[in-house]
A and B are shown apart, each in its own frame.
Chain A
Amino acid sequence: MTIQGKVWKYGNDVNTDVIFPGKYTYTITDRKEMAAHALEDLDPTFAKEVQAGDIVVAGSNFGCGSSREQAATCLKEAGVAAVIAASFARIFFRNAINEGLPLIECPEAIGAIEAGQTVEVDFEGGILRVGDKTYQFPGLPESVMGIVREGGLIPYVRKQLAQRKA
């Protein structure tokens, strides 16, 4: 799968409170409504203007802070096709996989990417194209890819349970 998307660019340590504020974590349960608040306290224009297929690019430790899964859900539901960062906070990384939101860890490329430009991601080849430059990024471990291949954790667990019964 190869995708092209317009970039929204942010800095280091983008935390889950600015991605999805804590005050909504128990009051908003609808995914569409979650998307309407995505990145609200970092960039109030994002949720209004994001288009399906856009790509979020950030520095190190993206998704640090709370374990709230809505941080991954709201980006996925807002149409974000992938997040490219220098590194990811570990619980956000898990939540994104479970949600089926692709993450690309590629520290070398971050400095070269500008807001508003279009970048291309070749997931199978592990290649990120930024203008005329290309960068390699590591794929996910095989055991984790199983979850992604099934389309997220819920279908993955359903399949595991079905295999148990068989």
Chain B
Amino acid sequence: MGQSFTQKILARGAGKSSVAISEIVDVTPDVVMSHDNTAAISATFKRMGVERLDDPRRHVIVLDHCVPAASEKYAQNHKTIREFVAEQGIEHFYDIQRGICHQVLPEQGHVRPGALIVGSDSHTTTYGALGAFAAGIGRSETAAIMAIGRIWLRVPETMQVRVKGAFADRVGAKDFILRLIGDLGADGGLYQAVEFVGPAIDDMAVDDRLTLCNMTAEMGAKNGYMLPDEKTRAWLQARGVKDYEPVFSDPDTVYARVLDYDVSALEPQLAAPHTVDNVHPVKEWAGKPIHQALLGTCTNGRLCDLHRAADLLRGKKIDPRVRMLVFPASVEVVREAMRDGTLLTLSEAGAVIMNAGCGPCLGAHEGILAPGEVCISTANRNFRGRMGSRDADVFLASPETVAASALTGQITDPRTL
């Protein structure tokens, strides 16, 4: 029986020739990501009674969750991390000006096809879009890797999602992944690896592939994966990454489940409050008044996402009752969107241009919701209370749907504009 991509990566990490499904393996990751939670991780690391990191080169730390610091407590948190970074000689440290970890790691060349990556953040699954194994882990175990360089992982089964067809105008990757999560449920991929293949994936830009793998976390998956191809190679080469060995599933891999999708007839989708799998066509919620529109986050803060919103808003004004907030995913995106005029277009339409970072997605700062308020967001989670008040509503949708809704002041199918 063939070995899946994920089996091969975990076997290599464990120093074995092959591994079986459900086997627990001890692996040494190639890359370990942590963010603002590194202060807590460093405290745990010290409680383990060890002075120096097992290998500081393995660790990448990005400050993004509450940047710049919103309060003295957050400021102290960041300060603790900077001191830890200096004390341990951690070279791969990105301070508050760089952007969201899940965009910064790929952009800065820390994600290579065939790499074994873990991160103390659930959306670490994002990196699978470049052909890496990438899974979220907890804080204490990140500290344990700092101390002993190893972590246990259970070898998952793999689900294959075969996608064909061409997206209709103003429909895209976000609509597809929402539909998939709606169909499978929040536990539909629990403990599993999800492998996306097919012509619609081949046709998809790397930016959109990152969106798909990002949200596999919302169906409980351990990791997402896409076959590295010519687009992957070009994307990485533009960032100076050339030295890697792609890994593919064997042709005779046995999949736990194979799903077939044709995206040709797909309509714009949204996740209604308060779960990500509460997915409906946007038109079913059309007319619902909104107070805030959020464009950005690790799901949809990339250049192509900003372009899609700007295309709908160019020369127009968003509804004066709506606060539209734009958070580019990284400073690279900020600069590109500045150069090509996208940010000017969004600003002229009435949007507020914010800094590269997580923004209000996790309820820390920069756009918290009051009771009774409604936000439509390109983020990946709409759990009760996540973006502020437990009596606020968050809808998740594509950049096109968020921009269209900001324009009209109510939830709007972007195809109707």
Assess whether B84 is interfacial by the CB under 8 Å rule.
no
* Residues of chain B lying within 8 A (CB to CB) of residue A13: 186-187, 275, 277
Partner of A161, one of B49, B136, B363: B49
**Bound complex: CA A144 to CA B385 (Å):** 33
Closest-CB distance, B61 to chain A (whole angstroms): 15
Chain B 8-51 interface mask (CB, 8 Å, partner A; 1/0): 00000000000000001010000000001101100010011110
Q: Which of A88-104 contact B (CB under 8 A)?
A: 89-91, 94-95, 98-99
Q: Which of A1-18 contact B (CB under 8 A)?
A: 12-13, 15, 17-18
Q: Is the CB of A41 within 8 A of B385?
A: yes
Q: Is the CB of A160 within 8 A of B74?
A: no
Assess whether B261 is interfacial by the CB under 8 Å rule.
no
Q: How many residues of A contact B (CB 8 A)?
A: 44
Residue of B nearest to A92 (CB): B138
Chain B 53-86 interface mask (CB, 8 Å, partner A; 1/0): 0000000000001100001011001000000000
Partner of B364, one of A23, A87, A99: A23
With contact pairs A27-B74, A64-B220, A91-B122 given, residues A18 and B383 touching in the complex (Cβ less than 8 Å): yes
* Residues of chain A lying within 8 A (CB to CB) of residue B39: 26
With contact pairs A26-B364, A61-B220, A154-B44 given, residues A67 and B190 touching in the complex (Cβ less than 8 Å): no
Assess whether B390 is interfacial by the CB under 8 Å rule.
yes
* Residues of chain B lying within 8 A (CB to CB) of residue A29: 40
Q: Which of B128-156 contact A (CB under 8 A)?
A: 136-141, 143-144, 147-148, 152, 154
Chain A 7-46 interface mask (CB, 8 Å, partner B; 1/0): 0000011010110011101110100000000001110000
Partner of A26, one of B26, B77, B120: B77
* Residues of chain A lying within 8 A (CB to CB) of residue B138: 67, 69, 72, 91, 94-95, 98
**Bound complex: CA A91 to CA B217 (Å):** 10
Closest-CB distance, B293 to chain A (whole angstroms): 20
Q: How large is the interface on B (under 10, 10 to 19, 20 to 34, 35 or more residues)?
A: 35 or more
Q: Is the CB of B187 within 8 A of A90?
A: no
Q: Is the CB of B191 within 8 A of A90?
A: yes
Closest-CB distance, B19 to chain A (whole angstroms): 13
Q: Which of B181-211 contact A (CB under 8 A)?
A: 186-187, 190-191
With contact pairs A157-B48, A157-B147 given, residues A67 and B121 touching in the complex (Cβ less than 8 Å): yes
**Bound complex: CA A12 to CA B77 (Å):** 34
Q: Is the CB of B40 within 8 A of A65?
A: no
Chain A 153-165 interface mask (CB, 8 Å, partner B; 1/0): 1101110110010
Assess whether B384 is interfacial by the CB under 8 Å rule.
yes
Q: Which of A129-166 contact B (CB under 8 A)?
A: 141, 143-144, 152-154, 156-158, 160-161, 164
**Bound complex: CA A15 to CA B190 (Å):** 14
Q: Is the CB of B186 within 8 A of A21?
A: no
Assess whether B362 is interfacial by the CB under 8 Å rule.
yes
Q: Is the CB of B136 within 8 A of A91?
A: yes
Closest-CB distance, B145 to chain A (whole angstroms): 10
Q: Is the CB of B40 within 8 A of A41?
A: no
With contact pairs A18-B383, A66-B122 given, residues A141 and B364 touching in the complex (Cβ less than 8 Å): no
* Residues of chain B lying within 8 A (CB to CB) of residue A90: 190-191, 220, 222
Assess whether B114 is interfacial by the CB under 8 Å rule.
no
Residue of B nearest to A64 (CB): B186
Of A13, A26, A89, A144, most buried by chain B (CB within 10 Å of CB) is A26
Q: Is the CB of B386 within 8 A of A89?
A: no
Residue of A nearest to B362 (CB): A22
Q: Is the CB of A17 within 8 A of B49?
A: no
Closest-CB distance, A113 to chain B (whole angstroms): 19
Q: Is the CB of A18 within 8 A of B385?
A: yes
* Residues of chain A lying within 8 A (CB to CB) of residue B66: 26
Assess whether B399 is interfacial by the CB under 8 Å rule.
no
Assess whether B381 is interfacial by the CB under 8 Å rule.
yes
* Residues of chain B lying within 8 A (CB to CB) of residue A66: 121-122, 362, 381
**Bound complex: CA A163 to CA B389 (Å):** 49
Closest-CB distance, B96 to chain A (whole angstroms): 13
Q: Is the CB of B381 within 8 A of A98?
A: no
Assess whether B388 is interfacial by the CB under 8 Å rule.
yes
Q: Is the CB of A91 within 8 A of B364?
A: no
**Bound complex: CA A67 to CA B275 (Å):** 17
Q: Is the CB of B49 within 8 A of A153?
A: no
Q: Is the CB of A65 within 8 A of B36?
A: no
* Residues of chain A lying within 8 A (CB to CB) of residue B136: 67, 91
Closest-CB distance, A147 to chain B (whole angstroms): 8
* Residues of chain A lying within 8 A (CB to CB) of residue B121: 66-67
Q: Is the CB of A144 within 8 A of B383?
A: no
* Residues of chain B lying within 8 A (CB to CB) of residue A91: 122, 136-138
* Residues of chain B lying within 8 A (CB to CB) of residue A164: 148
* Residues of chain A lying within 8 A (CB to CB) of residue B122: 65-67, 91
* Residues of chain A lying within 8 A (CB to CB) of residue B40: 29, 69
* Residues of chain A lying within 8 A (CB to CB) of residue B368: 23
* Residues of chain B lying within 8 A (CB to CB) of residue A69: 40, 138-140
Instruction: Supply 11 A–B pairs (Cβ within 8 Å), ascending by A.
Output: A23-B368, A25-B362, A25-B364, A26-B74, A40-B385, A60-B187, A64-B187, A68-B139, A69-B40, A154-B140, A161-B147
**Extra inter-chain contacts (20) besides given A12-B187, A25-B37, CB under 8 Å:** A17-B386, A22-B362, A23-B385, A23-B388, A26-B65, A27-B74, A29-B40, A60-B187, A61-B186, A65-B383, A67-B120, A72-B138, A89-B190, A90-B191, A90-B220, A94-B138, A95-B138, A95-B140, A98-B144, A161-B147
